[in-house]
Structures are given as C-alpha cells and as structure tokens.
A and B are shown apart, each in its own frame.
Chain A
Amino acid sequence: MQKLIAIEGLTKRFGPLTAVSDVSLTVGRGDVVGFLGPNGAGKSTAMRMVAGFIAPTAGRSLVCGYDVGDFPILAKQCIGYLPEGAPLYGDMTVEKFLDFIAQARGLTGSEKKQKLVTAIEKLEIGDVLAQHVETLSKGFKRRVGLAQAIIHDPQVLILDEPTDGLDPNQKHRVRNLIHDMAANKAIIISTHILEEVEAVCNRAAIINKGRLIFDDTPGALLKSSSSGSKTLEDVFRELTSDHEG
C-alpha cells in the first residue's frame, strides 16, 4: 500500500497553547480516515497543516512524497481540500467559481470541460450553475465546496466536515461519493458524526487536546472500550472525556 500522506510528529503551537501535539499518521491509497475529536481538539489545525495553509511549529507532512513545507506547490497539486466551513467566493456564479478553481489547478481546454462536468454531476449541482454562490443554501454551498475539492481528481482528499449542513439524503449521497472515490485515493475526513465513520471510513483516528489517542479501524474502536460500551458514541465519550492530555 502506497503511503500518500505521511504525517510525522506534527506540532502546532499558538503562543502558550498547543493546538496539535506530535501527531503522526500515515494514510495509504484506498484508506478513508475518519478524523474524530471534540470541538477544539485540533482537527482543523492538523488538516490545515497537511493542506499547506499553515506551517507546523515542528514535524512535517509528506503528501504524495512531497514535503508540504519544502515543496508546497507540488504537494498542493495532488491535494483536494475542503476547508472548514467551506469558504467560497460569494460574488461569483457557481460555474465561474468552479472554472476559476479548474484553471488555478492547471486544467485547460477539453480536459477542463470534462472534469468540470464530472464534478458537477457527482455533486448534483447542475441546476445552480448560474446562481451566485452567496445566494445558495448551506447544503449547496457545501456541495460546491466539495466539487472544487475533487475537480482535478486529486490523489489525496482532505475534507473538513464534508457533510456538515447537508440534509440526510445529501449526506447519504456524499458518503456514497466518498466511498466510490476511496479505491484510488487517500482520504481524510473530519466529522462529528460517528455513524459517518462507520459508514465510510476504514480507519478512525481520534484526536483529543491536540494528541492522537486512537488510530485503528472503527471496529477496533468499538472493542477498545474497557467498560463494554456498545456504540461508537459511548466509546468516543469514554476516550475523550477521561483522557489526560
């Protein structure tokens, strides 16, 4: 299994606060890692570092073999990234926005056209292409955000809460989409929804107070409970409420 993402001792400190502390993780092709943790645990910060938005205080991350700090452009080329909250340029139409992303990703001509069509079909946003992004509902915005992340068919996908704000049907479709893409990509998704981990992830990584405290299959997560908890939610609570940072 090829390691498309290799995170080595990643640490981020903001002044006295350590947001991410010595996190190491490798993700291979075919892996879908569910990044779990309470609010403020450091999930988004960790993902931002891997995506190359912020520089780590210590440690490094390799994406497709490129050190994100040393070769940011090469690394970013093989990443599709959905930032937290799916920020988009509100004053553009969906079509123009996706076209901009495709161009910035270096796509041109018929290849660009074809990849745009594919992404638009996958996320079912064909009906809103002419609308300005700022007029879209939350669910559509999230889907446009996902479309821009997958447009160039990247080998690595980093999705920060990809199903947040979607209705149950849309959630189901997005999970299917992630599931379908999983075979030839390395995917990290962060989520609060534990059922999502069971549905799409073959690995669960739990981060609490900046530290990685669990990294195995969702099944193993269930079994790891010392008090015989029956659901992922119980195990999650057990792990993240008692754990001493």
Chain B
Amino acid sequence: MHNIGVIFRRELMSYFSTPLAYVFIVIFLALCGAFTFYIGGFFARGQADLEAFFYFHPWLYLFLIPAVAMRLWAEERKTGTIELLMTLPVTVGQAVVGKYLTAWFFIFIALGLTFPIWITVNYLGNPDNGVIFASYFGSLLMAGAFLAIGSCISGATKNQVIAFIMAAAVSFLFLMSGLDLVVDFFRGWLPGVLVDAIASMSFLNHFIAITKGVIDLRDLVFFGSLIVLSLFINVMLIDLKKAE
C-alpha cells in the first residue's frame, strides 16, 4: 500500500504540473455541456433528469480516456524512466495499480466537476437523485474499464500515438459489441453462444443498465473483472517488454 501511495502521489503531481490536467478537464467539461444542451436537448426534453447528460459519456470517453491512458506506460518507456521505476524496490503490480488509480482518480475529479449540471437539474425540477447517483457511479466505473484497457495497451508500446489509436479502437469494439453493427458481423458464422457472449461485452448495454438506476451485480462484476483482467495483462506486458 505504501508503494502504491508513493506512486499515486508522484503521478498526480505530474498531471497537474503540466497543462495536461487542465486541458483535459476544460475540454471534457466543455464537451459534456455542449452535448447535453445542444445535441441532447436538455431543456427541450422538459424532463428533470440527466439522461441527456449521461447519454454521451461513453462517446466522450471513447477518445478522451485513451488520451489520458496513452502516456501511462508509453511515456515511461520512451523517456527511459521505466528503468528508474522498475529498479526501485517497487513491484510491477504496485506500479501498474498506482498509475492506474491516479488516472482513475483524475477522471473522478473531472467527472466531479460536472456537478453544476446536477445543481441545475435540482433547481429546475425534482429529479430522482438516486438514479443520478447511480449514473455517476456507472459512468465512473465505465471510465475505469476504458482506462484499464488503455493502460494495458500503453504498456505494449513506447509510441503514444499508437497507444492512443489502439486503445480507442479496442474501446470502440467493446462499446459497440452489443449493437447490430458488430453482432451481425459475427452472427453468420459463430455459434449463438459466442455471439451472445460478444454481445454481452457491450459497455453501452452495461452502462445504460446502470443509468436506469439499477446497480445490478452483473454489471459491477462485468466492469470489475474487465478492469482486473486488463491490469493483470498490463503487469505481464510490462514484465515482458519493459526493456525493449
């Protein structure tokens, strides 16, 4: 725990000592607002809920989270600091988890800064705050899953642009896997069980389920196990490829 804490603090410092954190937060908030009010039609809907707000989160995360995740390991490898880090008395697991948790906490801050919209909707009407809380929770959980995939891919390359594109592409597959676009492609030649399995990987479906206000154990297990699995692969990749 001590080591994870040490890495967490160093990473967090590095987010806020460069423009990265500020640029990310401003863009995230601006896009959230723009989507909610213009495309989501927050006012026109005339309903006291935040569906128009949460609806766009998966799509924002699709390219914003890989942008946060791409530097996690690719940068360490590019600058050679990975050699410094990995020769400290710190395990690979502690380093992976420490870096991951920092990035997740950072997303948590960005997401938390959207609170004015929650105040707005409470001022305008009487929304179901339980549903809103569940949606925030689901959004954070989904962000964590995107982030774990991004971190894992970042560990496989020293090129941040490749890390970004690959993470966005893999995230896209996970996001869309419940939709006909992806499912139809597999339906013709894969057994039904596998098609169902692929369809059940959909971030979108799991996220939408949570935004209905029902935090189902299955959705938690899905995101949780995806995060754990990705980080596990992340650790193995770093172990195998750290010196390349």
Interface positions of A (Cβ within 8 A of B)? 48, 51-54, 72-74, 76-77, 79, 81, 83-85, 87-92, 96, 100-101, 103-106, 132, 148
Contacts and interface: CB of A to CB of B under 8 A. Distances in A.
Given A85-B80, A87-B80, A100-B6, A105 B88 contact: yes
Given A53-B243, A91-B17, A92-B17, A104 B87 contact: no
10 contacts: A51-B87, A53-B86, A53-B242, A54-B242, A76-B87, A88-B81, A92-B14, A104-B88, A106-B2, A148-B84
Interface residues of B, number: 23
A81 B142 CA distance: 39
DSSP class of B's interface residues: helix, strand, loop or mixed?
helix
Most buried by A among B18, B79, B89: B89
B91 A89 contact: no
A48 B243 contact: yes
Contacts of A84: 80, 83
A241 to B, nearest CB: 29
B13 interface: yes
B91 A83 contact: no
Nearest to B243: A54
Contacts of B9: 100, 103
A52 B6 CA distance: 20
B225 interface: no
Nearest to A52: B87
A86 B20 CA distance: 25
B90 interface: yes
A73 B89 contact: yes
B47 interface: no
A99 to B, nearest CB: 9
A81 B9 CA distance: 22
B2 A48 contact: no
A104 B9 CA distance: 11
A51 B83 CA distance: 10
A196 B148 CA distance: 47
Contacts of A103: 6, 9
Nearest to B92: A72
Contact of A104 (B13, B80, B81, B89): B89
B40 to A, nearest CB: 36
A92 B10 contact: yes
A76 B243 contact: no
Contacts of A73: 89-91
B102 to A, nearest CB: 13
A53 B238 CA distance: 11
B3 interface: yes
Contact of A92 (B6, B13, B79): B13
A229 B171 CA distance: 65
Contacts of B18: 91
A91 B13 CA distance: 9
Given A92-B14, A96-B13, A87 B89 contact: no
Interface in B4-54: 6-7, 9-10, 13-14, 17-18
Most buried by A among B81, B242, B243: B243
A149 B79 CA distance: 18
A134 to B, nearest CB: 10
A104 B3 contact: yes
Contacts of B14: 89, 91-92
A104 B90 contact: yes
A77 B81 contact: no
